[in-house]
């Protein structure tokens, strides 16, 4: 028995139907339209059984990822002792450069001599043993070798007091000996570290304590004036860059407010019309695709993490593998094709289209600036969360500091040309392309079509909010990053709704990640 294609089988879920191909005589525009006869249009578009299963999987993975990170932030197991990482010394390194930079700026401006000892807050004298050694070195820089020696003696007493839980490593004991020897010789008027320590010991101090280690080797009175001047120039450069960033940030803030007002007026006057087209079909297939992406991406990341740890590869090589995983996870786009949607239609559905790339990229600038205004309540919520969590957390005085952040900060602190290149490729190229494809492309398509029977504003609000929650929850910033990342994701979703194409939201994402990465490189 034959059936009429315009009368779908009553046993078939209407949400899994795909548009039937049009005739050969149809125009290009008609090929993009819904073939009315092939679609059943109920008053709402409920989830199919496969759609429900996909959502259960998405919810489970999101909850698991968020819970693991949040638990580690709420109830951290602090490591007491052991050699400190570069990331743990980032705050002290930055503070040291700022102090030395201020001194150089004051000297350059021929300002009256200022006591910068107040620039070194006692709150920095916490955390790992290396951080406390760095604090003593900065004491010596500001107040002389005698002050540094006194600080080292206080540190010795604290170590003795915590001997039951704190055991210094071989490197830490060696560092204490070397820093003490340097200060003793400086107190006697001997300032050439080449005459005090052999090359291997100087290299140990610098490798373990970074920039502040170099500061310990090159005191103000050092006869190695060229090296000292280089050190001071680095500090002054950082101070100037931070000032420029602050001024630029103020300017961007004003531009953000102006952009928000202008775009709001244009939208109200209907000079900004949404270009997102609701398809009314196939939304279940796209939540299946998103669930498949989560399995591929997080499964591959977890497996590669275990494998790479076994191989003990360099961090830059590990980041290269992560880059491959990012782009490789887009193989999930084969799923809707397998389910019967032509790839040309998949590209239209997820926003992989662009009639005018220059216009789309330029539109990202005011849209991103307007989005920055949304970040203000996000940052406020983040600071409130930090204060609330800190109020009940108890940390050991020699434990690692508990602060919000992203694992990539640790990689930035390690530095190296190859590492920096891989960070930029991952954060500023791969993440914008892949994350916008799966979140503002695949997931947003599903959510908008799922709620397409509602008023447009309600459908957009629903899709943007759910999209933002999942986007923020799976990021490694955990509970602290949820407010800011969610506001950012809402801005990306609104760009997707306005432009129709993903190019604008990808450009916004790339601009944001590039700015954050560049600022991190400056201050870390």
Tell me the C-alpha to C-alpha distance, in Å, between residue 258 and each of 262, 367, 463: 6, 11, 26
Task: State yes or no: pLDDT of 78 exceeds 80.
Answer: no
**Region 307-328 average pLDDT:** 81
Task: State yes or no: pLDDT of 367 exceeds 70.
Answer: yes
DSSP code per residue over 187-201: HTT---HHHHS-HHH
Token code pair at residue 521: 């490189």
Task: State yes or no: pLDDT of 237 exceeds 80.
Answer: yes
Helix (H, G, I), strand (E, B) or coil at 80: strand
Q: What does the angle CA 112 – CA 116 – CA 117 come to, to the nearest 5 degrees?
A: 140
Residue 162 parent element (H or E): none
Give me the pLDDT at residue 482, please: 92
Give me the pLDDT at residue 522, please: 77
**Region 315-335 average pLDDT:** 91
Task: State yes or no: pLDDT of 524 exceeds 80.
Answer: no
pLDDT per position as a tens digit, 123-148: 778 888 898 999 999 999 888 899 99
pLDDT per position as a tens digit, 174-203: 999 999 999 999 999 999 999 999 999 999
The larger pLDDT score, comparing residue 314 to residue 75, is at 75
- For the chain, the average pLDDT equals 84
Give me the pLDDT at residue 27, please: 42
Task: State yes or no: pLDDT of 345 exceeds 90.
Answer: yes
**Region 257-279 average pLDDT:** 90
pLDDT per position as a tens digit, 7-66: 333 334 444 444 433 333 344 444 444 433 334 444 455 889 999 999 999 999 999 999
Give me the pLDDT at residue 107, please: 77
- Name residues whose C-beta falls within 8 Å of residue 119's C-beta, 6 or more positions apart in sequence: 95, 98, 99, 102, 142
pLDDT per position as a tens digit, 213-228: 999 999 989 998 999 9
The larger pLDDT score, comparing residue 321 to residue 312, is at 321
Give me the pLDDT at residue 119, please: 64
Give me the pLDDT at residue 335, please: 97
- Name residues whose C-beta falls within 8 Å of residue 328's C-beta, 6 or more positions apart in sequence: 296, 300
Q: Residue 113: pLDDT band by 50, 70, 90 thresholds?
A: low
Give me the pLDDT at residue 7, please: 37
The model's pTM is 0.83
Helix (H, G, I), strand (E, B) or coil at 238: helix
Q: Quick one: what percent of the chain has pLDDT higher than 70?
A: 86
Token code pair at residue 198: 């052999």
Give me the pLDDT at residue 253, please: 92
Please classify residue 225 by burial: count the beta carbons closer than 10 Å to its beta carbon, then call 0-12 exposed, 13-18 middle and 19+ buried: exposed
Query: 493, 391 in Cβ contact below 8 A?
Result: no
Closest CA to 419 of 522, 331, 314, 326: 314
Q: Which of 245-249, 400-404, 462-466 has the highest mean pLDDT?
A: 462-466
Tell me the C-alpha to C-alpha distance, in Å, between residue 50 and each of 41, 55, 285, 362: 19, 9, 8, 39
Helix (H, G, I), strand (E, B) or coil at 111: coil
Query: 145, 186 in Cβ contact below 8 A?
Result: yes
Residue with tokens 């043993």: 129
Task: State yes or no: pLDDT of 283 exceeds 70.
Answer: yes
Please classify residue 295 by burial: count the beta carbons closer than 10 Å to its beta carbon, then call 0-12 exposed, 13-18 middle and 19+ buried: middle
pLDDT per position as a tens digit, 483-494: 999 999 999 999
| Chain CA centroid to CA 419, Å | 16
CA–CA dist 499, 357 (Å, integer): 11
Task: State yes or no: pLDDT of 308 exceeds 80.
Answer: no
pLDDT per position as a tens digit, 386-435: 888 877 777 777 776 566 666 677 777 666 788 889 899 999 999 999 99
**Region 98-103 average pLDDT:** 87
Instruction: Please report, for the chain, the start and end positions of each structural domain, with discontinuous segments joined by +.
Output: 49-75+273-523, 87-228
Phi/psi of residue 80, nearest 5 degrees:
-110, 120
Q: Residue 110: pLDDT band by 50, 70, 90 thresholds?
A: low
Q: Residue 352: pLDDT band by 50, 70, 90 thresholds?
A: very high
| Chain CA centroid to CA 142, Å | 35
């Amino acid at each position: 028995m034959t059936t009429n294609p315009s009368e779908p089988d009553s046993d078939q879920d209407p949400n899994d139907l795909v548009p039937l191909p049009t005739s050969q005589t149809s125009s290009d525009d008609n090929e993009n339209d819904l073939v009315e006869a092939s679609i059943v249009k109920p008053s709402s578009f409920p989830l199919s059984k496969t759609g429900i299963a996909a959502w259960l999987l998405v919810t489970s993975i999101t909850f698991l990822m968020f819970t693991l990170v949040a638990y580690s932030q709420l109830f951290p197991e602090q490591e007491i002792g052991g050699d400190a990482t570069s990331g743990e010394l980032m705050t002290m390194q930055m503070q040291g450069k700022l102090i030395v930079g201020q001194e150089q700026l004051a000297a350059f401006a021929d300002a009256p001599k200022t006591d910068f000892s107040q620039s070194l807050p006692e709150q920095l004298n916490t955390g790992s043993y290396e951080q406390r050694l760095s604090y003593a070195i900065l004491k010596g820089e500001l107040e002389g070798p005698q002050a540094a020696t006194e600080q080292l003696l206080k540190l010795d007493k604290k170590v003795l007091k915590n001997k039951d839980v704190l055991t210094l490593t071989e490197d830490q004991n060696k560092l204490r000996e070397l820093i003490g020897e340097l200060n003793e010789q400086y107190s006697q008027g001997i300032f050439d570290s080449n005459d005090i320590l052999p090359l291997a010991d100087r290299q140990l101090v610098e490798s373990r304590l970074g920039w502040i280690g170099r500061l310990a080797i090159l005191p103000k009175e050092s006869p190695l004036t060229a090296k000292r001047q280089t050190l001071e120039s680095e500090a002054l450069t950082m101070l100037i860059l931070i000032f420029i960033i602050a001024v630029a940030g103020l300017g961007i803030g004003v531009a953000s407010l102006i952009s928000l007002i202008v775009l709001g007026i244009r939208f109200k006057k209907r000079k900004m019309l949404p270009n997102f087209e609701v398809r009314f079909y196939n939304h279940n297939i796209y939540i299946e695709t998103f669930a498949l992406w989560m399995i591929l991406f997080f499964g591959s990341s977890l497996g590669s993490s275990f494998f790479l740890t076994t191989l003990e590869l360099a961090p830059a090589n590990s980041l290269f593998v992560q880059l491959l995983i990012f782009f490789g996870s887009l193989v999930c786009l084969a799923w809707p094709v397998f389910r019967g949607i032509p790839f040309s239609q998949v590209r239209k559905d997820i926003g992989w289209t662009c009639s005018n790339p220059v216009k789309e990229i330029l539109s990202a600038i005011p849209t991103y600036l307007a989005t920055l205004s949304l970040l203000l309540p996000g940052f406020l919520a983040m600071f409130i969360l930090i204060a609330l969590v800190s109020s009940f957390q108890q940390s050991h005085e020699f434990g690692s500091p508990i602060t919000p952040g992203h694992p990539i900060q640790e990689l930035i602190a390690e530095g190296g040309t190859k590492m920096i290149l891989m960070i930029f490729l991952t954060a500023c190229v791969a993440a914008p392309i892949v994350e916008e494809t799966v979140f503002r492309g695949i997931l947003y398509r599903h959510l908008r079509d799922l709620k397409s029977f509602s008023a447009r504003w309600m459908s957009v609000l629903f899709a943007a909010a759910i999209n933002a929650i999942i986007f923020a929850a799976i990021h490694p910033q955990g509970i602290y990053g949820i407010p800011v990342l969610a506001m950012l994701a809402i801005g990306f979703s609104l760009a997707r709704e306005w432009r129709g194409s993903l190019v604008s939201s990808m450009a916004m994402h790339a601009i944001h990640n590039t700015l954050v990465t560049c600022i991190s490189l400056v201050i870390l």
